[in-house]
Each structure stands twice: as C-alpha cells, then as structure tokens.
Structure 1
Amino acid sequence: MNNHSGHDMTAHGGARPGGLSVSENGYTLELDSTIFPAGVRTVTFRVTGPDGRPVTEFTPEHEKKLHFIAVRRDTTGFQHMHPVMDGKGTWSVDLTLEPGDWRFFADVHPVGHGGTMALGIDASVAGPYAPQPISGGSRSAHVGEYTVSLDGELLPGTASDLTLTVSRDGRPVTDLQPYLGAYGHLVALRVGDLGYLHVHPDGEPGDGVTEPGPAITFMAAAPSGGVYRLYLDFQHQDVVRTAEFTVRATATVTPGPDAAPRAASEHAGHRGGHAHH
C-alpha cells in the first residue's frame, strides 16, 4: 500500500490524524479568503514555509504536487481536486460550494521536508444552511448505474482490510482505469472533528499482480474509535466517480481467561441480539 499522507490510516493506528491544524512543522495553509458566496467559486491559497514565504517546490505524490479536499462540516459536498499553481506559489481551484461551514485540506510534500502532511482550514459559505444528517451504515453505495460494496471492518489501532467491489448494472467491473497511479483512492474523515485520513490500495496498475477490478483492497487502521465517513474515488470509462460510506470503528476486545465462561453464557442468553466487535 502506498500511503498518501504522513497521518494516513496505516498500520500505525492511534496516531493523530492529519488536517486538524492549519500549521504543521512550520508549514501553514493560507487562504486569500475564508468567506465565500454559494455557487462555483475560485479558491486561491498558498502553503507557506518556515521562512514565511510561499512554497513553490513540492515532491509529487501520486502524480500531483498537491491534493486538495473540500467537504462541508456535515460531511456532504466532498470534492477531491488538483489545483494549479502559478510561479509565485499561489494555487487556484474551482469548487462547488453550498451554504454552510466547510473544511479544506491541502495534502502536500514540500521539497526538503521529511514527508507528506495534511493541513486543514475552515471556510464559511454564505446563505441559508440546511445541515444534513450523517447517512446510515449501508454496505452498498450507488453512483448512477454503479454499485460499490464494502467488506471488512475499520478498527482503531489495528490494521485490517477494507475491500470495495465495483459493479455496473449488476455486472462486475473488471476494467477500472488507473487514476493518479492507482485503481482507487480512499479518504476517511472522522465525524466530529473531520480528522483526515487518506490511503491507497494494495498494489498498483502494471505491477503484474493487481487486477483492474472489480475489487480494490485497502489496508487501513483508524486512529481512534468512532464514526467515519469514507469516500472512494474510482475511474471507469474516463469518468471519475465517488462512492460514500459511513462506518464505525470499534475496538476488538479479547476477553481474558476468567471472562470466557461469562462470555459464553451471555452469548447463549442473547442469541440473535449480541453484537461481536
């Protein structure tokens, strides 16, 4: 698995997720404006370095020098974009913004810095705000004629497989196209603070092993228990689509020897209503 950010969902579960701070290791995300009217709007920003100047040299990660994520605080409106930078270090990107409070993330690897980082900043979009409830925990997401099914459990502090399987009109999709060097990209946001996690699947196109669908498998670990929103980007027939899921990361508890008889008794007494985590 190739991780995209130093704070990703990796086997190092329990680490602080990225995107919770506007500044890290001397690097800061600066927006020209943090207030926008609703609609399609151009957002301009810079990443400044420890010297206070805009950074202009970045190490590409998955074919791009900067990955920009926008999402409303109620986890709707997710957009994974790739802005354009001018010669002075100012980036610009067009976003579709609905009224409400938003969180913007810049995922970058400045040249000279030891790795990638995710910086986050809040923005406000004017207008009547109608926050949406977090969707339920369905294991299937529908994107037009495509269905994406999720298998596996997200565990806090423990690496586990998450497999997303893509079908179209009931038939497996076996010709997914590479998108930014992978068959799929997964972003997870922790509900409550929008702690940011970003991973990529096991294997990569052209490695002689990884198939172009229908299944895309990620090795992931959540930094903590709680509810997470998952966003899978995949490309088919030259169109990038996003499937969304809601999952709960729950620790797996291994009972000690003294707890075994009680666990068995409880299982017998609550058959059909006892959840195994």
Structure 2
Amino acid sequence: MVELFDTHVHLNVEQFDEDLEEVIERAKEAGVRWMNVVGFDRETITKAMNLIDRYEFMYATIGWHPVDSVDMKREDLEWIESLATHEKVVAIGETGLDYHWDKSPADVQKRVFKDQIELHKRVNLPLVIHGRDAQEDIATLLEEEGVGEAGGIMHCFSGDVATAERCLAQGMHISFGGPVTFKNAKLPKEVAKIVPLDRLLIETDCPFLSPHPYRGKRNEPARVRIIAEQLAELKGLTLEELSEITTENAKRLFRISS
C-alpha cells in the first residue's frame, strides 16, 4: 500500500482558489495521505493556518521567504512565533537565501535568515530552507549559526553532492521535488543517490516545479507519486518501500504520531 507525505505544498496560493477540493481528491487517489502547507508571508501564512484547521491531514510550516526579506518587520517575526504554538504547526520556514531575484539584498536576506534560525531554535521546530543560486552561502551560514536539535529540511534541494554532504552533516534532511524527474537533471539524481534513506523526503512545491511529463504546467500534490517513483528507481527500492521510508521520515521530523 502506498501512503505518501507531500512535505511542501502551497495550496494556500491563488492558483488553487477555484478547484481546491478536486486537487485534494486527486491527491488522495494517488496515495497522498498527509500534506505540509507552507506559508511564506502574511497572506499565505493566514491561509495555511485556515487550511490546517479545516483539513485533518494538513499541517503547516510558517516563515518568511528570502525574496521578500526586505518586507519583513520585527512584528512579523513575533507574529510567526506566536502562531508556532499551534499543535499543527510543524516547522519554521520557508526561509533561506535566493540570489536569483534582486528584490532583497543579500545582507538583508542573511539577517532575516539568521532571525528565523534563532526562532526555530527557540520554538524547537524544524527549519525549512529555500535556496536558489545560493547553496554555498546557505551551507556556510548553517555551519556558522548551527542548526537546532529539531533539525530541518533542504527544500527542493538544487545544490551539488559536496554541498548536500555539508548540509547533512548539520543534521538536515534533503527533500526532492519535480526537478529530479527531468531528463537533463544529472545533478539532483547524483545527490539523491548519496542521501541516506533516513534523511530522504519528497515534495511537489506545488503549484511550482511540476515533474516530467507535466513540466511547465501547474503542479499539484498528486504528482508527488511521480517523484517517489523516480527516487525509488534511483535507490533500488520499490515504490511501496520508498513511500514508507519517506513518510516515516516526515512524520518523525514533524512529530506526527497518527
């Protein structure tokens, strides 16, 4: 029996306003039993909190996206900390560094990232890290600041093997999304092969990064099964084995007992 945990979804964005129930039904049909909804600003955090109160199988990660670091105020961080006491808030993020876009200067991103590293330690929840064109700086900052006992996730990891090993050494899990299925995706496949099974996670990052053969189209949680199939092949496992391993990893990290 295949029971999947999509550890990173954005069902709290406008792309799902019109057909959320249909999307959820397709996910259930594909074997998705649990979802982690990630909020990254005031609006999406509020929507994430509403979703976890509405759906038993949804949990939330709340934080501030690095691209929007310049918009974050001290009261936003305090608000996130107050919401982190909710029993279904399972992680802090997505935070990190993103050098692809130039909205927020690197020094501002690093300051906001450090603030959320400190927050994740205070509330003792895992840290969910977004990285784009910045994996080296992220690994260095994690080594300098240290990761709390709750650990964390390198969300939709796009770095190389050496950087992955540095993040693993800090106690992080490595999560794979749609790009690991792309035909020209040599690097993520190489990384997937070296990640220990007890640190492996799967996600869609929907509505973004749809896996092959849906690349370029709106992504949704049902397609996490395609990612699981690809990782099972890379790891020499059956889909059932891969799904059991990654689901147990997610439930252990997020402290979900049911």
TM-score past 0.5 threshold: no
Normalising to structure 2: TM-score of the pair? 0.27
Is the helix fraction higher in 1 or 2?
2
Q: Which has the larger radius of gyration?
A: 1
Normalising to structure 1: TM-score of the pair? 0.26
